[in-house]
Structure 1
Amino acid sequence: MTVEPVQQKVAPEPAAATRLIDKVFRARELAVIAVLVVMLGATQLSNPEFLSQQGIKDLMLNATILVLVAVGQAMVVITRNVDLSVGSVLGISAFAAGVYLQDGGNPLVAITLATALGVLFGLLNGALVSLGKVPSLVVTLGTLYIIRGIDSIWVGSRQITASDLPDSFVDFGHDGIFVVPYLALLTLAILAVVAYYLRSYRSGRDMYALGSSPEAAQLAGIPIRTRIMTAYMVSGALAGLAGALYLSRFGNVDSNTGNGYELMVVSAVVVGGVAFTGGSGSVYGAALGAVLLTSINSVLPALGVSSVWVTAINGLLLLLAIAVDRILALRVAAALRKKAAQTRSDRRG
């Protein structure tokens, strides 16, 4: 008879903790939106042509590829892992799609081929991390160089240009509805699907539980290996798809395509409020981080600032985001400890 009252008192605690953490990270996302609005507004005041119809379209096009890869990366980081191979996967997938199209292939098949290639590499990363129990940083750093090496040997000095590709494929990378490019619409659809999956399906929520506490997730019976492999396969698939869309957007692929992209993706995810320690954040935040970083690349030249500052600013934002994450984590932990102490005191009373 004494079990029921105890359950009623204990149950609200996790719900309160979840609400507190969600509120904190929603505030992070709102802060990124505020910075983005202020930055774009200030640039528009300095350069009235910046937010012209073509300017808005260019901002969206510049962000789509990074947003797409950041969404997949966010899923991996939420599980307390990382995927440093996304840049290499993007590069080799783009070239594979280009070679196929160069031989007269169908654009839809080319996109499917690039995505499937990404899934294959994601499966490899997921297997090594989950089954081999090797730290994800080590695994994906290794596969980064392996895939990049294969890509360099395969591509060699060759280069695929827009003239080698079907006009319909190249047009898809530039056209759209009014100022909204087709690439942006596709990216938004994928973003919404992944966000819905993480919030509405048990397997998606399991990834947050796994990132929050792998030990507790294991005790709760969550299939840890399956969830990690799923996250890596989605990350690989989106990196492969991004490779095909990169080819459509820029119409140019060589052995250097995707070089250094992984660091920008990780920066976008962390700046967007996805905690590098796992278990917190959202793919919407990762997308906002990607939009912020790509907008900086457009804003600086519009203000007459040298583009050499872009890398330094991205690094500064990454360090700032990590510092904010640490401060917020300490405050949330202190608030939860205080709430737990208050609950124990109420029980004794």
Structure 2
Amino acid sequence: MTSSTTDAPAQDVGAGTPDATPRGPRGLARRAFAVESMSVLIATVALIAVIGAIHPDFLDPRQLRDMLQQSVYVAVLAAGVAFLLAMREIDLSIGAIFGLSLICSAMLMRDGVNPWLAAVAGVLLGALLGLVNAAIVQVFRIPAIVATLATLSMFRGLALALSEGQQVVGLPIDHAFFEIFGGRLLGIPVSVLVLVVLAVALTFVLRTTPFGYRVRSIGSNPDAAVFSGISVARVRIQALMVMGALAGLAGMLGLAFFGSGDPNIGGGFELLAIAAAVIGGTPLRGGSATVVGAMLGAVLLSVVTSGLVYFDIPVNWSSFATGAVILVAVGVDSLLRRRRESRAAAAGL
């Protein structure tokens, strides 16, 4: 008797019971705003309220809008990280891919290439760099975290070399690309609207498509996934390419907003994106993820960074304070998760 290779079971490999969440738009919405997503949303709103109560200027609509704008790039990266963590993988080069895609597209625009074509090329370059990461992992049979630690330096160095360490300026900022993606619609940054669309699309992919099922199955139980006929290598390649494409897309949004290319941009984004995904409710053990939670985690980190300014904390201490908040948030999330698991185990007895 041969094992089935069908990719459409109703439950994840290793899951004990089928998913009882209703299907369709309402079911998808409930999946997107799961307990983990709601907890980080409540924490973000509470933090904004506390800072606003002490410093009312923090609640100025322009301040809140700018804070959202600043969180977009890490939020897009965090959405891709959620996919990787769901299958027990990681990519440390995403900040460098963000920067290299931005620099290459900026150079193309400066040299007269249509900004729309240059932007598409930037996203495709991100996907290609993700494929390079996947090829290194497959050929040398090394963990993705090791491979991408190396390519982080390679891609960052390439961005510096191509730009000669200088900002890429002289872009046609009056072009529609910059006016649309660097502008606002009804007072809301277009990049934030793009983030909302991405949240819906990626949640749909993760929760309802064969690719999303395979990602979660591999993270839940790799051996069972292989036994069921899932190609771990192929899914890993696809996931790393999706991550790279999202990093390229984030780079294009950043380019549209800033209107120039800085070869140093994106440094540290990879760690912030990983932290955002974990804070948002995506566990490191794999098997599950929440795209919306990852994005909200990025917003929470942006609130922390912006809030520190209002308390006159020296810039040299900002990284320490941000790290401390991340540690507290992850610790609290871990305690709450274990409490829920203990209650579920007790209820099953």
Measure the CA separation in 2 of the matches of 1:46 and 1:318.
Answer: 22
Measure the CA separation in 2 of the matches of 1:334 and 1:92.
Answer: 45
Check conservation: 1:160, 1:251, Cα contact below 8 A: no
Structure with greater Cα Rg: 1
Range with bigger deviation, 112-121 or 304-313: 304-313
Q: In the superposition, relative to structure 1, how do residues 36 and 186 fare at CA in structure 2: closer, same or farther (>3 Å)?
A: same
Give 2:34's match in structure 1, choosing from 26, 34, 41.
26
Mapped pair 1:86 → 2:97:
no
Mapped pair 1:72 → 2:86:
no
Question: Which structure 2 residues correspond to residues 179-198 of structure 1 after superposition, within 5 A?
Answer: 179-198=187-206
Residue equivalent to 1:251: 259
More helix by share: 1
Which runs of 5 or more structure 2 residues have no equivalent in the other structure? 1-14, 22-29
Residue equivalent to 2:172: 165
Q: Secondary structure at the match of 1:308?
A: helix
Give 1:294's match in structure 2, choosing from 293, 302, 305.
302
Residue equivalent to 1:14: 16
Deviation by residue 1:14-36 (Cα, 9 ceiling, x = unmatched): 227888xx99x933322211111
Q: In the superposition, relative to structure 1, how do residues 30 and 279 fare at CA in structure 2: closer, same or farther (>3 Å)?
A: same
Check conservation: 2:173, 2:259, Cα contact below 8 A: no
Check conservation: 2:171, 2:260, Cα contact below 8 A: no
Amino acid at match of 1:166: I
Measure the CA separation in 1 of the matches of 2:91 and 2:294.
Answer: 14
Measure the CA separation in 2 of the matches of 1:302 and 1:222.
Answer: 51
Q: In the superposition, relative to structure 1, how do residues 86 and 220 fare at CA in structure 2: closer, same or farther (>3 Å)?
A: same
Residue equivalent to 1:46: 54
CA RMSD, Structure 1 to Structure 2 (Å)? 2.7
Check conservation: 2:101, 2:122, Cα contact below 8 A: yes
Give the structure-2-normalised TM-score. Answer: 0.85
CA apart distance, 1:253: 2.1
Residue equivalent to 1:345: none
Mapped pair 1:176 → 2:184:
yes
CA apart distance, 1:180: 1.3
Measure the CA separation in 1 of the matches of 2:114 and 2:260.
Answer: 18
Residue equivalent to 1:272: 280
Identity %: 31
Q: In the superposition, relative to structure 1, how do residues 337 and 37 fare at CA in structure 2: closer, same or farther (>3 Å)?
A: closer
Q: In the superposition, relative to structure 1, how do residues 288 and 54 fare at CA in structure 2: closer, same or farther (>3 Å)?
A: same
Question: Which structure 2 residues correspond to residues 178-257 of structure 1 after superposition, within 5 A?
Answer: 178-257=186-265
Give 2:327's match in structure 1, choosing from 309, 319, 324.
319
Mapped pair 1:144 → 2:146:
no
Q: In the superposition, relative to structure 1, how do residues 142 and 191 fare at CA in structure 2: closer, same or farther (>3 Å)?
A: same
CA apart distance, 1:219: 1.4
CA apart distance, 1:334: 5.6
Which runs of 5 or more structure 1 residues have no equivalent in the other structure? 1-12, 343-349
CA apart distance, 1:238: 0.7
CA apart distance, 1:44: 2.2
Range with bigger deviation, 109-118 or 247-256: 247-256
Q: Secondary structure at the match of 1:50?
A: helix
Q: Secondary structure at the match of 1:15?
A: coil
Measure the CA separation in 2 of the matches of 1:42 and 1:333.
Answer: 30
Residue equivalent to 1:116: 124
CA apart distance, 1:217: 1.1
CA apart distance, 1:321: 4.7
Residue equivalent to 2:43: 35
